[in-house]
Chain A
C-alpha cells in the first residue's frame, strides 16, 4: 500500500507527553501550524474519573505501553544475547495522550547546578582522577543559570506547589502555589532530620494545592489527596499533566492538529534535511507521509533513539571504538537508584491509605556536590525522601525481613504493619558509561517487522557505593524517627532487566561537541538542522533527583530554538572542538 502524502505543515511533533505537549503548545501559540502524532489513544480527564482501581492501574498497568506490538530487549554485557522484556511487570513506559506526563507522581524538582557542569566541576574540585576511566559523563552544554528561565516557565505552566529548598539552587520566582500538607509521618521525618542537623522541606509537587489558572489560561484543580495518583490519571484534573495544560492550550490556538493512534515509523530525510515523517494509522493500517519544515521527535527515550536508528540519521554509537553518538550514554534511575530503608513502628499507626503522588518531604544535604567527596568512593549524590503516595490494599504488604512471603505469619505481619511502616530512599544520580548504550536488536522485531531497540546496561562500583551511602543515611534518619525495626534495601549486584519507574534517559544526548553529543543545547541535531530531538533522551547522565521539570525546561528551550530556526534557519549553537569529556 502506497503511503498517502499529506499537505505540508510548519512543524510535525512525534509524541504528546510533556515534551511533545510543550513544543506543540508553544509553537501553535506562536502562530505556526503544528501536527502532533501520538501512537496511543486520545484521552481526557473523563477517562480517569471514577476509576480508582488499584488492580487495573497499578498491577495490570492500564496506562503503560502495550508490549505485544513493541518492546525493548535487554542484556548486561556486550557479548550476551539480549532477551525481550516481555511483560508490563518488567517494563514501564507510558502510552496514550499525555504519555508519562499523565501517570507521573508529580515530584517537581530541578536538577542541581552541578549536574549541568558535572565534568568540569568534578575535575575542578577533585582532579581528573576522580572520574573513573569507564565513566563517560559530560557537561550539558548549558548551565543551570541559562536554563533557569525555562524551569520557571515550566513551574508556572504546571502550577508547581512547593516551598524553597534551604540548600537549593537560586530561583527567579517563588513557587506558584504553596506546598502540600504536612502529615504526621512527614513531620516525624522532618523533626528527625532537623535533630540530625539536616535541612528538610516539602517535596515540590505537581499535585496542585490550590485551584490555579496558569499563564495559558488553563485551570488545574486543587488536589484532594485521594491516593490514586502515581500510575493513575487524575480523577479531578488536579495533577499537572499535558491533558489539562499544554494540549488544551495548543488546541485553543486553532493552529494545532492532534492525530492519535498514529504510529511513526521513520523520519524522512535527504541531503542532511528532514522532510517529514512516515506514519501508520493503526486503526485503518493506512500509511501517511506528513511533510513539515521542522520535525520534532518528542517521544519517550526509547522511541526517540529507535526512530533515529531506523531512519539512519546520525552516527550510531559503537562501544568498541567508543565513537558515534546515537545510542551513546544510556542512563537512568531504576533499580540501582531509590534504595533506602524501611522502618516498622510497633506503636505508631499512620493514615497511609491517604496520600498523593508527590506528597512527601526531603532534604538535599547529600545532593550533588554539596558535600565533600574527597574521601568518598563515588561522585554526585541524591536526596533522602519520604513519600506518602497513598498505599493501595494490594501494595501495602510490607513486612519485616525474616517474615515468610506467604502463610500465617505473612498474613499476620502484613495486616499488622499495613499502616505502621515508613520507607525512606535515596534518589541518587546515575552516571553514564561507555558500556551502557542503545542499538537495534538483531533478532526481535515489532509489528511492522522493524527491529526492537536493544539495551545493554550494567551496574558499576559507583552505583553500588552511592547506594550504600544513601541507605546508611536513610537508616540513620529512621533510627532518629524511632522505628522499632529497620530493614535496609539490598543493593542489586547485577541489573535484572526490570525497567521500573519510567526514568530511563540518554542516547540522543545534548552537549557542545558533535563528537560526543547528538543535539546542541537547543535540542537541535548537529547533523540535521531542522530535526529537534526533545525529551529525557537528551540527558547525558541522570541527575540526583526526579526528572520531569528538567524535561519540561528542555522542551521550553527547544521550543524557543525551533521558533528561531523557523525564522532564521541554520545551526543555533556553535560546536566546540575542545572536548568537555575525558
Chain B
C-alpha cells in the first residue's frame, strides 16, 4: 500500500535527503515523526532549552491508520449524511494520488467540522449587522474575477483562495449546511442519485456548477460557498495537526514543509534544498 507513494522520492531533487526509504513509509513504519532529525539540519545551538524538545510519546502517532483518533468525531454536523457529502466533496478537491493522501485521509472533513463548531464558524469576529444586501442587489461582486485578491502587500501569506465580498446574513456554519445539502440535491436532480453515490466526474460537474455560481442557493451565492469549501479543505490539509486535519503531518510531508521551527539562521544561506522531518506545534511548544 505504501509503495504507491514512493514516486515522491524519485522526483525529489533534494540533495540533502539521505533517507533512502519513502518518507511516508518511514513514518508509518516507525511511528516517529517528532523530535528526531532525519536528513535535516540541527538548530545550530541558537535556541534555548525551551525549544530543544525530545521525542514525546504523546506525540508519536499510531502506525495503523485505520485506528481512528479519539477526536475524529462530529461536533458541528449533527447529520451524518451532511458530513458524508462533505467528505466526498473535499476528496474531489484534494484527491489521493501518487504524491500522498487526499483530504479525507488527512482529516480535512473533521478539521472543517471543528472550525465550524467554533467562533469562526459562527462569525464571532465578523460584522453581522443589518441591512444585508446580497451582491447582485447592489453590485455583482460575487461574480467578479477574484484573482486580484491574491495580490497586494503580503500576498504570499494570504489565503489560498479568493475572498468574495461577504454580504450574507448566513454565518459560515449555516452556509456549509445549506451548501452541502444543495450539493446532494443537485446530484439527485441531475443524476438521480446521492452525491456520495455519483461518479467522480459527476461530482466534479456539480462542484464546478457551484464554483461558477450556476446553482441557486438561498441567501448566499453558490460561489461564496464553494470558495469557502475550497479554502477550508486546503486549510484542513495543511494547517497544524492541532486542528484535526493534516493527519500525521502528511500534508506537510508531501510539500516538504517542516512545520514550526525555532530557527533557520544557520541554514538559510544554503544553496541546496534542505528537507527536514516535520514537527508540529505539539513538538514546538514542548
Q: Which of B92, B147, B160, B231 has the most CB of A within 10 A?
A: B160
A51 to B153, CA, bound (A): 23
Q: Does B13 contact A (CB under 8 A)?
A: yes
- Residues of B250-284 whose CB lies within 8 A of A: 251-252, 254-258, 260-265, 267-271, 273-274, 281, 284
Task: Return chain A residues, CB-CB under 8 Å to B167.
Answer: 83, 86
Q: Does B94 contact A (CB under 8 A)?
A: yes
Pairwise interchain contact A349-B273, C-beta atoms closer than 8 A: yes
Pairwise interchain contact B268-A334, C-beta atoms closer than 8 A: no
Task: Return chain B residues, CB-CB under 8 Å to A405.
Answer: 161, 211, 230
Pairwise interchain contact B256-A68, C-beta atoms closer than 8 A: no
Pairwise interchain contact A395-B157, C-beta atoms closer than 8 A: yes
Q: List 25 A-B residue pairs with CB atoms under 8 Å apart, sorted by A's residue number.
A: A53-B260, A59-B159, A59-B235, A67-B126, A68-B125, A68-B128, A224-B262, A224-B263, A230-B157, A231-B157, A337-B152, A338-B151, A338-B155, A349-B14, A351-B274, A396-B255, A405-B230, A406-B233, A408-B97, A411-B99, A415-B254, A418-B257, A490-B145, A490-B147, A496-B146
The secondary-structure label for the interface of chain B is loop
Please, how many residues of chain A have a CB less than 8 angstroms from a CB on the other chain?
90
Pairwise interchain contact A181-B99, C-beta atoms closer than 8 A: no
Pairwise interchain contact B153-A334, C-beta atoms closer than 8 A: yes
Q: Give the contacting residue for B153; candidates A68, A87, A443, A500; CB below 8 A.
A: A500
Task: Return chain B residues, CB-CB under 8 Å to A84.
Answer: 127, 129
Q: A182-B269, A183-B268, A394-B160 are in contact. Are A339 and B146 (CB under 8 A)?
A: no
Pairwise interchain contact A67-B127, C-beta atoms closer than 8 A: yes
Pairwise interchain contact A406-B93, C-beta atoms closer than 8 A: yes
- Closest-CB distance, A101 to chain B (whole angstroms): 15
Which 7 residue pairs across A and B have the least CB separation, nearest first? Answer: A501-B153, A52-B260, A224-B263, A354-B264, A393-B238, A55-B239, A492-B148
Task: Return chain B residues, CB-CB under 8 Å to A248.
Answer: none
Q: A224-B265, A347-B13, A501-B154 are in contact. Are A353 and B230 (CB under 8 A)?
A: no
Pairwise interchain contact A407-B163, C-beta atoms closer than 8 A: no
Q: Does B70 contact A (CB under 8 A)?
A: no
A253 to B266, CA, bound (A): 38
Q: Which of A55, A105, A335, A497 has the most CB of B within 10 A?
A: A55
Q: A55-B235, A86-B167, A223-B265 are in contact. List 14 more A-B contacts (CB 8 A).
A: A55-B240, A58-B159, A67-B125, A83-B138, A83-B165, A355-B268, A407-B204, A412-B97, A489-B147, A494-B144, A496-B146, A498-B165, A500-B149, A500-B155
> Per-position contact with B for A208-225: 1 when CB-CB < 8 Å, else 0?
000000000000001111
- Residues of B76-92 whose CB lies within 8 A of A: 92
Q: Which of A105, A393, A407, A546 has the most CB of B within 10 A?
A: A393
Task: Return chain B residues, CB-CB under 8 Å to A223.
Answer: 265
A491 to B151, CA, bound (A): 9
Task: Return chain B residues, CB-CB under 8 Å to A391.
Answer: 156-157
A58 to B263, CA, bound (A): 19
- Closest-CB distance, A49 to chain B (whole angstroms): 8
> Per-position contact with B for A319-356: 1 when CB-CB < 8 Å, else 0?
00000000000000111011100000001011101110
Pairwise interchain contact A396-B257, C-beta atoms closer than 8 A: yes
A334 to B151, CA, bound (A): 8
Task: Return chain A residues, CB-CB under 8 Å to B233.
Answer: 406
- Closest-CB distance, A398 to chain B (whole angstroms): 8
Pairwise interchain contact B257-A408, C-beta atoms closer than 8 A: no
Residue of A nearest to B211 (CB): A405
Task: Return chain B residues, CB-CB under 8 Å to A231.
Answer: 154, 157
Q: A351-B270, A500-B152 are in contact. Are A397 and B93 (CB under 8 A)?
A: no
- Closest-CB distance, A95 to chain B (whole angstroms): 10
A546 to B264, CA, bound (A): 26
A83 to B240, CA, bound (A): 34
- Residues of A398-450 whose CB lies within 8 A of B: 405-408, 411-412, 415, 418-419, 423, 425, 443-445
A71 to B141, CA, bound (A): 19
Q: A52-B284, A406-B230, A501-B153 are in contact. Are A226 and B269 (CB under 8 A)?
A: no
Q: Does A194 contact B (CB under 8 A)?
A: no
Pairwise interchain contact A498-B149, C-beta atoms closer than 8 A: yes
> Per-position contact with B for A38-74: 1 when CB-CB < 8 Å, else 0?
0000000000001111110011110000111011000
Q: Which of B152, B157, B255 has the most CB of A within 10 A?
A: B157
Task: Return chain A residues, CB-CB under 8 Å to B239.
Answer: 54-55, 59, 393-394
A350 to B252, CA, bound (A): 16
For chains A and B in complex, what number of residue pairs have CB atoms within 8 angstroms? 243
Q: Give the contacting residue for A496; candidates B149, B268, B271; CB below 8 A.
A: B149
Residue of A nearest to B100 (CB): A415
A331 to B106, CA, bound (A): 44
Q: Give the contacting residue for B92; candidates A58, A393, A407, A494; CB below 8 A.
A: A407
- Closest-CB distance, B211 to chain A (whole angstroms): 8
> Per-position contact with A for B190-225: 1 when CB-CB < 8 Å, else 0?
000000000000001001000100000000000000
Pairwise interchain contact A389-B157, C-beta atoms closer than 8 A: yes
- Closest-CB distance, A179 to chain B (whole angstroms): 13
- Closest-CB distance, B167 to chain A (whole angstroms): 6
A394 to B108, CA, bound (A): 13
Q: A55-B235, A397-B234, A496-B146 are in contact. Are A184 and B271 (CB under 8 A)?
A: yes
Task: Return chain B residues, CB-CB under 8 Å to A66.
Answer: 125
Q: Does A502 contact B (CB under 8 A)?
A: yes
Q: Does B124 contact A (CB under 8 A)?
A: yes
Q: Does A503 contact B (CB under 8 A)?
A: yes
A183 to B268, CA, bound (A): 6
- Closest-CB distance, A346 to chain B (whole angstroms): 10
Q: Which residues of A contact B (CB under 8 A)?
A: 50-55, 58-61, 66-68, 70-71, 80-81, 83-90, 105, 181-184, 222-228, 230-231, 235, 333-335, 337-339, 347, 349-351, 353-355, 387, 389-397, 405-408, 411-412, 415, 418-419, 423, 425, 443-445, 489-492, 494, 496-498, 500-503, 546
Pairwise interchain contact B263-A226, C-beta atoms closer than 8 A: yes
A91 to B261, CA, bound (A): 29
Pairwise interchain contact B258-A353, C-beta atoms closer than 8 A: yes
Task: Return chain B residues, CB-CB under 8 Å to A90.
Answer: 163, 165-166
Task: Return chain B residues, CB-CB under 8 Å to A351.
Answer: 264, 267-268, 270, 273-274
- Closest-CB distance, B92 to chain A (whole angstroms): 7
Residue of A nearest to B148 (CB): A492
Pairwise interchain contact B268-A181, C-beta atoms closer than 8 A: yes
Q: Does B131 contact A (CB under 8 A)?
A: yes
Task: Return chain A residues, CB-CB under 8 Å to B155.
Answer: 338, 423, 425, 500
Task: Return chain B residues, CB-CB under 8 Å to A60.
Answer: 120
A408 to B285, CA, bound (A): 34
> Per-position contact with A for B1-20: 1 when CB-CB < 8 Å, else 0?
00000000000011000000
Pairwise interchain contact B285-A50, C-beta atoms closer than 8 A: yes
Pairwise interchain contact A334-B152, C-beta atoms closer than 8 A: yes
Q: Give the contacting residue for B269; candidates A70, A183, A490; CB below 8 A.
A: A183
Q: Give the contacting residue for B163; candidates A89, A181, A394; CB below 8 A.
A: A89
Task: Return chain B residues, CB-CB under 8 Å to A86.
Answer: 126-128, 166-167
Residue of A nearest to B242 (CB): A53
Task: Return chain B residues, CB-CB under 8 Å to A51.
Answer: 281
A80 to B264, CA, bound (A): 50
Pairwise interchain contact A500-B243, C-beta atoms closer than 8 A: no
- Closest-CB distance, B108 to chain A (whole angstroms): 12
A215 to B79, CA, bound (A): 62
A518 to B281, CA, bound (A): 48
Q: A68-B124, A224-B46, A418-B257 are in contact. Are A335 and B230 (CB under 8 A)?
A: no
Q: A228-B260, A411-B97 are in contact. Are A53 and B281 (CB under 8 A)?
A: yes
